[in-house]
Amino acid sequence: MVNIAILGFGTVGSGVAEVLAKNSAHIDQKVETPVRLKYILDVRDFPDNPFGDKIIHDFATIENDPEVDIVVETIGGAGVALDFTRRALSAGKSVVSSNKELVAEHGCELLQLAARKGASYLFEASVGGGIPILRPLSQCLAANELTEVCGILNGTTNYILTRMIRAGLSFDAALREAQANGYAEADPTADVEGHDACRKICILAAIAFGRHIYPRQVPTEGITGVTLADVAYAESCNKKIKLLGRAIRQDDGRICAYVAPHLLDGENPLSGVEDVFNAITVKGDAIGDVMFYGRGAGKLPTASAVVADVMDAARHIKSRKRVEWGPGGEDVTVSPERLETAWYVRAKGRVDAVRAGFPGVALLSRSGAPAEEVAFLTPVMTGAEVLERLGALEPQSLFRVLD
């Protein structure tokens, strides 16, 4: 028998309880022992909920109960969740988490603690919701030298952009829909400002390249600056606006990681990823390009990944499941400033200024554009060079363009 305690009975925690109950026969058979939900820790009571009798309010009950083998942390944040995770691992219990903030900030430390205690620390659900990505990246692609990981890593922003593109919805109306569907973080600022995607690219980069990368080392821009005008200009040249997280290994081994909106060519497979779906592309020297695709947020897709980790931890109760990466440091990353790409520019100004700064570029058009608005795609160059050449043009939007 393996006993589970869930910390936090919100969207993901309640989904985990549901999947454990609904698929219990199948789960027990695969793990080859009964997997039982013993406690749910939350500050609230849920008297009318079918799992209401499992609710407790004191973490010490879980910490001190030798019968609890696996703790599922779905609280989120890096406050109390960090304290409970450290205490659970210190007590020799394995921890399964969907908490990307905690892993991105403290993953290296928590993995080392788990290793010392002979426990597993697993967090497949922290990136890509229900998409299997961390395990394939660390195991199935282990034979490759990886050079780049790039993806649509946030379901809420992808949903918002899709609704803006397809239905012409305003940013606020699309965000309200995403919240109603349970995709957004408790504070959706983390979604729309790109912080959620930033945490996820940190975790992907740590697994792909073997060193901890802190969110503060990853320049991050969200989608609050994307307008319906940008959507229309992108469409006019057969491109889609997508929020991407990218981590690229440089020749000197350092990692260039950032999060920003991009214009993606219609031929790029990531451009067809819509609604709450996420997708991650990985480049390896043996495999070439590989892409992972699926539901990146939502109660049951995320619970699917958490419960799979619970089953993996349950099978490895006596021999911990190994995941690890090296410590972070200032020498691990380089700024994306020197990364050259084509750029999409929307600016206030005159066509002659475009001709002077960017000779030969074609102007983009959209219906209803105000006088003195110009938009165009630049040749490949750094962002600093674009700004230098703008001259009298006043930039409104500046996004990288990828084929």
Distance spanning both ends of the chain, measured CA to CA:
52
Binding map of ligand HSE across residues 108-137, x = CB under 6 A, - = no contact: ---------------------x--------
From 14-22, 75-83, 102-110, 177-185, span contacting ligand HSE (CB under 6 A): 177-185
Residue in 97, 99, 154, 271 binding ligand HSE, rule: CB under 6 A:
154
Q: What are phi and psi of 63, to 5 degrees?
A: -60, -40
Closer to ligand HSE at the Cβ: 243 or 402?
A: 243
Nearest to 264 by CA among 302, 230, 308: 230
Residue in 9, 59, 123, 183 binding ligand HSE, rule: CB under 6 A:
183
Neighbours of 57 (CB within 10 A): 10
Task: Tell the smallest beta-carbon distance from residue 396 to ligand HSE (Å).
Answer: 26
* 214 vs 104: CA distance, rounded Å: 6
Residue in 130, 151, 296, 357 binding ligand HSE, rule: CB under 6 A:
296
Task: Tell the smallest beta-carbon distance from residue 171 to ligand HSE (Å).
Answer: 15
Task: Tell the smallest beta-carbon distance from residue 154 to ligand HSE (Å).
Answer: 4
Report CA 308 to chain centroid distance, whole Å: 19
Residue in 14, 94, 97, 156 binding ligand HSE, rule: CB under 6 A:
156
Tokens of 14: 């309640």
Residue in 69, 101, 105, 191 binding ligand HSE, rule: CB under 6 A:
191
> Under rule CB under 6 A, how many of the chain's residues touch ligand HSE?
11
Residue in 297, 303, 314, 375 binding ligand HSE, rule: CB under 6 A:
297
Give 235: exposed, middle or buried? Use CB within 10 Å, 0-12, 13-18, 19+: middle
Nearest to 153 by CA among 198, 184, 185: 198
The answer to the question of residue 309 lying near ligand HSE (CB under 6 A) is: no
Nearest to 149 by CA among 209, 109, 96: 209
- Under 8 Å between Cβ of 182 and 296: no
What Rg do the C-alpha atoms of the chain give, in angstroms? Answer: 23
Task: Tell the smallest beta-carbon distance from residue 199 to ligand HSE (Å).
Answer: 9
Task: Tell the smallest beta-carbon distance from residue 156 to ligand HSE (Å).
Answer: 3
| Backbone region of residue 29 per phi and psi (left: phi > 0; alpha: psi in -120 to 50; beta: other values) | alpha
Task: Give contact residues for ligand HSE (rule: CB under 6 A).
Answer: 129, 154-156, 183-185, 191, 196, 296-297
